[in-house]
């Protein structure tokens, strides 16, 4: 069971990252071209938000059913173990909080530029945090 969830978590990550990149690029293009924030722009950001939240839920399920969650504090000297059991989950939770804050700020923004700016900044910071803590050595095995 945990093998399926782990493979799903790894595969879904590609979609979540792609949607985040599209949302960030779309927001920067919208800001720089001073275009109107349309329903299409909202949906692009919403799909990025949903994909990252699904990734978080699957990751939390994986964390609590895998041996990583139960042995967190025993092997902090091992850098690979620390990355996958502590740094990756905590950093990505912070990233998803930032992405969610960007979504909420964009909903309250009054101008098109402020909407694009909220998504660009918060989704961009979240994307950078996520990219910084991906266990790349496991992805390319």
The DSSP output letter for 111 is S
Contacts of 28 (CB under 8 A, 6+ apart): 116, 120
Pick from 36, 31, 53: nearest CA to 119: 31
Convert the pLDDT of each residue in 63-116 to its tens digit. Answer: 888 765 555 555 666 666 677 777 888 899 999 999 999 999 999 999 999 999
What pLDDT does 76 receive?
64
Contact 100, 118 (CB under 8 A): no
Whole-structure pTM value: 0.88
pLDDT at 10 over 70: yes
Instruction: Give the mean model confidence (pLDDT) for residues 11-34.
Output: 96
Percentage helix, strand, coil for the chain under 3-state DSSP, each rounded to 5: 85, 0, 15
Burial of 110 (0-12, 13-18, 19+ CB in 10 A): exposed
What pLDDT does 6 receive?
85
Q: What is the mean pLDDT of the chain?
A: 88
């Amino acid at each position: 069971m945990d093998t399926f969830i782990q493979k799903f978590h790894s595969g879904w990550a590609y979609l979540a990252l792609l949607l985040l990149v599209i949302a960030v690029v779309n927001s920067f293009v919208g800001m720089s071209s001073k275009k109107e924030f349309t329903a299409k722009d909202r949906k692009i950001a919403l799909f990025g938000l949903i994909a990252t939240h699904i990734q978080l839920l699957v990751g939390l399920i994986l964390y609590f059913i895998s041996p990583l969650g139960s042995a967190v504090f025993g092997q902090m000297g091992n850098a690979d173990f620390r990355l996958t059991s502590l740094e990756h989950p905590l950093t990505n939770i912070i990233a998803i909080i930032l992405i969610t804050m960007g979504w909420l700020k964009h909903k309250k923004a009054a101008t098109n530029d402020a909407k694009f700016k909220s998504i660009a900044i918060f989704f961009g910071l979240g994307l950078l945090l996520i990219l910084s803590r991906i266990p790349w050595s496991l992805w390319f095995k």
